Amino acid sequence: MQIGFIGLGVMGAPMAANLIAAGHTVHLHRVKESTEHLVEAGGHRAGSAADAAKEADVVILMLPDTPDVEEVLFGTDGVAGALRPGALVIDMSSISPVATRSFAERITGAGGGYLDAPVSGGDVGARAGTLTILAGGTTAAFERATPLLEVLGATITHVGDVGAGQTAKVANQIIVALTIQAVAEGLTFAGAAGVDPAVVREALMGGFASSRILEVHGQRMVDHNYDPGFRIRLHRKDLGLALGSARAMDLPLPHTASAHEFMNAAIAQGLGEADHSALHRVLGNAAGRAAK
Amino acid sequence: MQIGFIGLGVMGAPMAANLIAAGHTVHLHRVKESTEHLVEAGGHRAGSAADAAKEADVVILMLPDTPDVEEVLFGTDGVAGALRPGALVIDMSSISPVATRSFAERITGAGGGYLDAPVSGGDVGARAGTLTILAGGTTAAFERATPLLEVLGATITHVGDVGAGQTAKVANQIIVALTIQAVAEGLTFAGAAGVDPAVVREALMGGFASSRILEVHGQRMVDHNYDPGFRIRLHRKDLGLALGSARAMDLPLPHTASAHEFMNAAIAQGLGEADHSALHRVLGNAAGRAAK
Amino acid sequence: MQIGFIGLGVMGAPMAANLIAAGHTVHLHRVKESTEHLVEAGGHRAGSAADAAKEADVVILMLPDTPDVEEVLFGTDGVAGALRPGALVIDMSSISPVATRSFAERITGAGGGYLDAPVSGGDVGARAGTLTILAGGTTAAFERATPLLEVLGATITHVGDVGAGQTAKVANQIIVALTIQAVAEGLTFAGAAGVDPAVVREALMGGFASSRILEVHGQRMVDHNYDPGFRIRLHRKDLGLALGSARAMDLPLPHTASAHEFMNAAIAQGLGEADHSALHRVLGNAAGRAAK
Amino acid sequence: MQIGFIGLGVMGAPMAANLIAAGHTVHLHRVKESTEHLVEAGGHRAGSAADAAKEADVVILMLPDTPDVEEVLFGTDGVAGALRPGALVIDMSSISPVATRSFAERITGAGGGYLDAPVSGGDVGARAGTLTILAGGTTAAFERATPLLEVLGATITHVGDVGAGQTAKVANQIIVALTIQAVAEGLTFAGAAGVDPAVVREALMGGFASSRILEVHGQRMVDHNYDPGFRIRLHRKDLGLALGSARAMDLPLPHTASAHEFMNAAIAQGLGEADHSALHRVLGNAAGRAAK
C-alpha cells in the first residue's frame, strides 16, 4: 500500500520502520540525519506534507500536539490540498478530541476519510509493534485501517465515532496520572512512617491496590529512577487537554485538576523532563527520605 | 492451639469458623444469634474478653476501630488483665498505627507478645481463607503466628516492626481510594464526551491504566452496581487514619485529603453505605448520564 | 475628544454614556435597540469597528473575551486597518495577559498606542463612574488615557507595562473566587453545626476574617440571594485565563484550580448564570439547610 | 469579683493582667518566672487548678488545646472537683466544639455554669483589651460574663448556645486560612507574571478583593516578613478541628482540606513556627522570586 507518514520522532520513526518492514511503500516527511536509516531501509523522501500525501492511499500522522496536526493538514503545502479522493487520514497523535472532530469534518468534506487512532505503550511498544491503539471513526474507516494498525499494535479497539479514540486516550492519561498520585501518596506515607516502601509495594501487589502503575512506577519510586519513560511535561499537556474538554462540557474533574497543579509544581522544581513517576518527589521524597 | 477470638462481625465470624475447622480450640467473645453456628461447629462461648483470653496461647482481635481495640484490651474485664505470660495478641483490625505501637508496648510490658496483622480481601477472602495479611511485629511473633495466619490468608507479608502492618494497610487504603477516583474521573470523562465507558474500560485494561480497580470497580461504575462491597463510610474512616497519622508526621497527602472530602460529600448525599465505587456518583453520574 | 467605543454590553453601554455626558464625541459600534438611547444622548452610529476607529483619537474596547478583541482589532473591517497614526487603543475588556502583549505589539508596530485597562466594580460601578481600573502600558499612554479613565472610574492604578493591567485583573479574580470559597466553607460549617450564619458573619466582620466578600457575598449566602451580580460562568472564564497563564509559567495555583472545578460543578448543576456567591450551593446549602 | 485564671501564656498573661488592673481578685494557676509580674501587680498564686477555682465566682481558661482543657477541668486536682455551686466556667481557649458541649454538660451536671468564649485578635488585642470574643452558652451565662468580657475585648457577640462560640471561631479560622491562600495565589500569580505584587496589593485594596488579610498578610508577603503573628502550626491545629467536626457532620470542606495539606507541606519545609502568611512560600516564593 502507498502510505504517507508524517512525524518521525521517538514514536513515529519505529512505527514507520515497521510499516516499511511489512512491505509497504512509505513516503516519509522530514527525514533527518537521525532517521536516515528509514530511507536506507526502503522509505521514500517527501519534500513536504503535501508531497508525502499526494500518492498515498493512507496518510498517517504522529505529531506532538494539536497545532502541529492542524498545520500539517491545512497549512501551506499541507495534506488536505494534496489528498487523493478517497484516501484515508489516520491521526495517531494524542490531541484534542474537539479539534479532532473539526479536522475530520474538513477532511471528509474534501472527500477523504478520517480515523483518530492515538496509542499508548511508549517507544518500547512502538519498536515492538505492540502498541495499544484506541480508534475513533466510521466502521468503514476502521476496517480499512485495521491491516496497518495490526502492524503497529497488539491491542486495537474501535472505541466509537470520530474523536472517540482521542477521548479514550485522554481518559487513559487521567487514570494513569491519578494512579501515579495514588501510588506516590501511599508509598510516601509508608516510607515516612518508617516502613520500607519496597516491601509495601510487593505486599500490596496481590490485592485491590494492584496496578501496572504500582508494579512499574512504584518500582521506579522505590529505586528513585526517574529517567523517562514518559515525561511530566508531556503528561501535563494531556491533562491540559482533559481539563480543556471538561471545561467545555461543564464537567468537574477535581483530582485531575489537582494532579495538573502538582505537575506544574514538579516542572517548576525542575522535573519537567523527568519520568512522571517523579511526581513522587513533589511530596518531599528526596532520595534520602524515601530510602529510609 | 487455644485461641481467643474477639470480634465476630462480617469478617471475624468466617475467620473464626476457619480456625475452628482447622482443629483449634477457639474461645468466642460475644456470640450472637447470627454467630450461634460457630458454637455448633465447636467454638466455645466466652463471657468477656478476659474470659476469651484467659486460657489462650493466642488472642485474635477483629474489631471496627481504634477505640474498640483499646476497650477490649485494656477496659474492664479486658484481655490485658487475663493474658497468660507469653501469650500472643494478634490484632487483625484496621486501626491507627500510632495507637498500635502504644498498645503493643503495654501488652509486651505486661509479658505478652503483639502482632498487628490487618487484612484486605473483604468477606469473600475471609470465607475462602485467601486474605492478604500485612503483619508488623518481631520476627519471633511473626513466626509464631504464621501457622494461624496461613489458615486465614493466602498472601502473608511480614512488613516490619510493630505498627508496620497497620501502616501498610493505610497505604493500601490510600492507593485504593485514589485509584477509584482515577477510574471515576477517567470513565466519567469518556461518558460525558459521548464514548461508551464500558468500551473504554475494556480497551484500557491492556495498558498502563490497568488495575484491579479498573477491572472490578470500573465494571461496577459501568453497571451502576453500588451494593457493598466495601462501604464509603468505612473507607472514609481509613483515610481519616491516614490523614491523622500524616498530620502527626507533618506529611502532605493532598489527593488523599481531597478523596476524603469526596467521601464526605458522598456520605452527605446519602451514599455512605454504598460501595466505594459510588464515589463515581459525586461527579454527577446519575444512572442516566453514565449509561449514555 | 473623538472616541471610538466598541462593545455596548452591560458594562460598555453605561461607560459610553458617561463619556458622552462628559462632552466627548463618541462613535458607537453595534448600536442595538437596547442601546438606542446612547444615540439619542448624542452618540454617533458606526457601521463597523473600522468605522468607529477611523476618526478617533482614542478607541475603547469593552468586549467579552480574547477572541472578540482579536476579531475587532484585526478581523475584516477591524480597528487596526483604520487607526489614525498615533491614535490610542484602550482595551478595558478582561482578557489574556499573553494575548494582550501580542495585540499591543501589532498595534504599536502599526503606529498606534496601546493600554490595557480592565476594570472591576460591576455594572453598578460602570453606571456611577466609580470603577476600579487597572492599567498596563507606557507612562505616556497611561497619562494620555487618564482624563478619560477618570470619567469612568474612581480608583485608577498604573500597574506596570502592557499586559500588567490584565495580570492584575486576573490576580483580582483569583482572590475574589477563593475568598468566596473561604466564606462559603466558613459559613456552611457554622450553619451545619447549628449556629446561625447571619450571626457568625456579623461577629466576624470585626476581625481578621473581614473582607468585602464576607460583607457582600456573605450576606447573599445568608439570604440565598443568587441574582447576578457576577455570573459563575464568567468567573470561570477568568480562572481559565489564570490557569492558562500559570501553565505557561509552570506556576502551581492549587486552590485556584480547585475553585475552577467547583465552578464546573456549579455550572453542571445549573448555576452557571447565578451570582458567584452561589458556589455556596455546591457544598450542599440548599435553602432549607443553610437557613437552619 | 473572685476569678480563677488558668493558662498564663502569650494570650492568657495579658488578659489576667487586665482583669487584675480592673480591680478583680484573680487566682493564678502556674505562675512562672515570666509571669511573676502578675503577682507583683496583685494576683494570687494558686497551687493547682482546684486551688484557683475553689473560691472563684468565675473560672477563666486560656489553654492550648482540647486535651489541656479536659485535664484542667476533670483531671487530678481539677476545676470540677473544687467548683463552688453556681460558679461559672468561661473557656476562652480555641478547642473542639464537640468536646465543648460534653465538657459543658459535665460542669452544669455538677451545678456550675459554662460559657465558651474563644477570641481572635492575637497578643496585641489581648494586651490592649480589644479582643473579638465569640461566646456560646445560655443568655444567663452570657450576661453574667459580659462585665468581665468587656474588660478583655472590644467586640463581643453572643453567637448561640454552648459550643457556638467555638464553632464561630472555627469558621473564622477557615475563612482566615483560605483568604491567606487567596491572597498568596493572587500575588504569586502577579509576581510570576512580572507585575509588582506591592502595586497589585495596593490597587486591589479598593475593590471586591479587599480584606484585612490582603491588607495585613498581603503586606507581609510583599515584605517577606514571616515573624509570627499567628503560627502555621497553630493554624493547622484549628483546621484540624474544622475537619474533625466536618467529618462528624459528613460535611465536605474541600478547600479547607487542601489548605490543611499546604500547612502540612509548609511545616515539612520548616515553616511551622513562621507566621501563617508564609503559606505564600509553599507556592515557590523564595525571597528572590517574589521580590521581582
Q: Domain total for chain A?
A: 2
Confidence of residue B206 (pLDDT cuts 50, 70, 90): confident
Structure confidence at residue B121 (pLDDT): 87
Pair (B139, B16) in one structural domain: yes
Q: Please determine, for residue D118, whether its predicted confidence score (pLDDT) is greater than 60.
A: yes
Q: What percentage of chain D reaches a pLDDT higher than 70?
A: 98
Structure confidence at residue C97 (pLDDT): 94
Pair (A132, A221) in one structural domain: no
Do the chains contact at C265 and B254, CB–CB below 8 Å?
Answer: no
- C-alpha cell at position C11: 458594562
Pair (D21, D134) in one structural domain: yes
Do the chains contact at C268 and B254, CB–CB below 8 Å?
Answer: no
Using a CB-CB cut-off of 8 Å, the residues of chain B touching D268 are: 250-252
Do the chains contact at C261 and A257, CB–CB below 8 Å?
Answer: yes
Do the chains contact at A272 and C250, CB–CB below 8 Å?
Answer: yes
Cβ atoms of C26 and C5 within 8 Å: the answer is: yes
Which range has the worst mean pLDDT, B23-27, D23-27, D125-129, D284-288? D284-288
CA trace torsion D38, D43, D49, D51 (10° rounding)? 150
Q: Please determine, for residue A123, whether its predicted confidence score (pLDDT) is greater than 50.
A: yes
Specify the pairing of strand B58-61 against strand B2-6.
parallel
Q: Please determine, for residue B289, whether its predicted confidence score (pLDDT) is greater than 70.
A: no
CA distance D282 to D292: 17
Residues 6+ apart with CB under 8 A from A52: A4, A5, A6, A27, A28, A29, A46, A59, A79
Q: Please determine, for residue A83, whether its predicted confidence score (pLDDT) is greater than 60.
A: yes
Structure confidence at residue D122 (pLDDT): 86
Nearest one of A272, C200, B266, B93 to D163, comparing CA atoms: C200
- C-alpha cell at position C258: 480547585
- C-alpha cell at position A289: 527520605
Q: Please determine, for residue D30, whether its predicted confidence score (pLDDT) is greater than 90.
A: no
Q: Please determine, for residue D288, whether its predicted confidence score (pLDDT) is greater than 90.
A: no
- Write out pLDDT tens, residues D178-237: 999 999 999 999 999 999 999 999 999 988 999 999 999 999 999 999 999 899 999 999
Q: Please determine, for residue D291, whether its predicted confidence score (pLDDT) is greater than 90.
A: no
**Is C119 near chain D, with CB under 8 Å?**
no
Q: Please determine, for residue D59, whether its predicted confidence score (pLDDT) is greater than 60.
A: yes
Q: Please determine, for residue A235, whether its predicted confidence score (pLDDT) is greater than 80.
A: yes
The helix or strand, by DSSP H or E, that contains position C258, with its residue range, turns out to be helix C254-268
Structure confidence at residue D287 (pLDDT): 43
**Is B138 near chain A, with CB under 8 Å?**
no
What angle do helix axes A164-192 and A197-204 make, rounded to 10 degrees?
130
Cβ atoms of B8 and B28 within 8 Å: the answer is: yes
**Is A109 near chain D, with CB under 8 Å?**
no
CA distance D55 to A233: 69
**Is B227 near chain D, with CB under 8 Å?**
no
C161, C186, C210: which is the final residue of a domain? C161
How many CB atoms neighbour CB D51 within 10 A?
17
Pair (B100, B195) in one structural domain: no
Structure confidence at residue D286 (pLDDT): 59
Query: What DSSP designation does C38 have?
Result: H
Pair (C215, C242) in one structural domain: yes
Q: Please determine, for residue C285, whether its predicted confidence score (pLDDT) is greater than 80.
A: no
Q: Please determine, for residue C79, whether its predicted confidence score (pLDDT) is greater than 90.
A: yes
Structure confidence at residue C30 (pLDDT): 83
In sign, the C-alpha dihedral spanning C160, C165, C170, C172 is: positive
Pair (A97, A181) in one structural domain: no
Which residue from B160, B200, B262 is facing A199, i.e. has the nearest CB? B160
Question: Span D168-182, mean pLDDT?
Answer: 98
Structure confidence at residue C174 (pLDDT): 98
How many CB atoms neighbour CB A206 within 10 A?
18
Work out the minimum CA distance from B17 to partner chain A, whole angstroms: 23
Q: Which residue of A has its CA nearest to B161?
A: A195
Pair (A149, A180) in one structural domain: no
Which residue is associated with the grid cell 485514589? B178
Single out the catalytic residue among B32, B54, B169, B292: B169
Structure confidence at residue A138 (pLDDT): 98
Pair (B8, B129) in one structural domain: yes
* Average predicted confidence (pLDDT) for chain B: 94
CA distance A164 to B238: 37
Q: What percentage of chain B reaches a pLDDT higher than 90?
A: 92
D161, D182, D205: which is the final residue of a domain? D161
How many CB atoms neighbour CB C103 within 10 A?
25
Structure confidence at residue C286 (pLDDT): 60
Which residue from D250, D258, D265 is facing B264, i.e. has the nearest CB? D250
CATH code of the domain containing B274:
1.10.1040.10
Using a CB-CB cut-off of 8 Å, the residues of chain D touching C221 are: none
Query: What DSSP designation does A265 have?
Result: H
- Report angle CA B80, B82, B83 to the nearest 5 degrees: 70
Q: What percentage of chain A reaches a pLDDT higher than 90?
A: 92
Confidence of residue D35 (pLDDT cuts 50, 70, 90): very high
Specify the pairing of strand D131-136 against strand D119-120.
antiparallel
A161, A180, A215: which is the final residue of a domain? A161
Q: What percentage of chain C reaches a pLDDT higher than 90?
A: 92
Structure confidence at residue A121 (pLDDT): 87
Question: Span D148-174, mean pLDDT?
Answer: 97
CA distance C74 to C80: 6
First to last CA, chain C: 57
* Average predicted confidence (pLDDT) for chain A: 94
Q: Please determine, for residue A288, whether its predicted confidence score (pLDDT) is greater than 70.
A: no
- C-alpha cell at position D52: 484557683
- Write out pLDDT tens, residues C5-27: 999 999 999 999 999 999 999 99
Q: Please determine, for residue D262, whether its predicted confidence score (pLDDT) is greater than 50.
A: yes
Burial C175-186 (b: 16+ CB within 10 A, else e): bbbbbbbbbbbb
Domain that holds residue A201: 167-290
**Is A137 near chain B, with CB under 8 Å?**
no
Where on the phi/psi map is residue A194: left (φ > 0), alpha (ψ -120 to 50), or beta? left
Q: What percentage of chain C reaches a pLDDT higher than 70?
A: 98
Using a CB-CB cut-off of 8 Å, the residues of chain D touching B265 are: 252
Nearest one of B86, B79, B83, B62 to B9, comparing CA atoms: B62
Cβ atoms of C99 and C152 within 8 Å: the answer is: no
**Is A252 near chain D, with CB under 8 Å?**
no
- C-alpha cell at position B208: 498502563
**Is B284 near chain C, with CB under 8 Å?**
yes
Pair (A19, A157) in one structural domain: yes
- C-alpha cell at position B173: 487504603
Structure confidence at residue A285 (pLDDT): 76
How many angstroms separate the most distant Cα atoms in chain B?
66
Which residue from A178, A195, A210 is facing B185, i.e. has the nearest CB? A178
Do the chains contact at A168 and B203, CB–CB below 8 Å?
Answer: yes
The Cβ-side half-sphere exposure at B235, using a 13 Å CA radius, reads 36
CA distance A223 to A215: 12
Do the chains contact at B236 and D247, CB–CB below 8 Å?
Answer: yes
CA distance C139 to C135: 10
Cβ atoms of D228 and D272 within 8 Å: the answer is: no
Q: Please determine, for residue A101, whether its predicted confidence score (pLDDT) is greater than 90.
A: yes
CA distance A186 to A204: 10
Pair (D155, D184) in one structural domain: no
Which residue from C240, C254, C262 is facing A261, i.e. has the nearest CB? C254
B237 is catalytic: no
- Write out pLDDT tens, residues C181-205: 999 999 999 999 999 999 999 999 9
Which range has the worst mean pLDDT, B170-179, C133-142, C227-236? C227-236
Structure confidence at residue A292 (pLDDT): 30
Structure confidence at residue B291 (pLDDT): 31
Question: Span C237-241, mean pLDDT?
Answer: 95
CA distance D272 to A111: 65
Neighbours of chain C (3+ CB pairs under 8 A): A, B, D
Confidence of residue A290 (pLDDT cuts 50, 70, 90): very low
CA distance A270 to D98: 45
More reliable by pLDDT, B287 or C140: C140
pTM metric for this prediction: 0.91
Structure confidence at residue A286 (pLDDT): 60
Do the chains contact at B167 and A284, CB–CB below 8 Å?
Answer: no
- C-alpha cell at position D34: 515570666
- What residues form DSSP beta bridges with B44? B27
Which residue from C254, C268, C284 is facing B284, i.e. has the nearest CB? C268
Residue type, B15: M
Question: Span A37-64, mean pLDDT?
Answer: 97
How many angstroms separate the most distant Cα atoms in chain D?
66
Confidence of residue B171 (pLDDT cuts 50, 70, 90): very high
Pair (A59, A115) in one structural domain: yes
- Give CA separation, C73 vs B102, C69, C76, C241, in Å: 71, 6, 9, 20
Residues 6+ apart with CB under 8 A from C128: none
Cβ atoms of D159 and C203 within 8 Å: the answer is: yes
CATH code of the domain containing A92:
3.40.50.720
CA distance D182 to D279: 11
Using a CB-CB cut-off of 8 Å, the residues of chain B touching A130 are: none
- Interface predicted TM-score (ipTM) of this complex, two decimals: 0.93
Pair (D151, D10) in one structural domain: yes
Using a CB-CB cut-off of 8 Å, the residues of chain D touching C98 are: none
- Write out pLDDT tens, residues B241-286: 999 999 989 999 999 999 999 999 999 989 999 999 999 999 887 5
Q: Please determine, for residue D289, whether its predicted confidence score (pLDDT) is greater than 60.
A: no
CA distance C264 to C271: 9
The helix or strand, by DSSP H or E, that contains position D243, with its residue range, turns out to be helix D232-248
**Is B194 near chain C, with CB under 8 Å?**
no
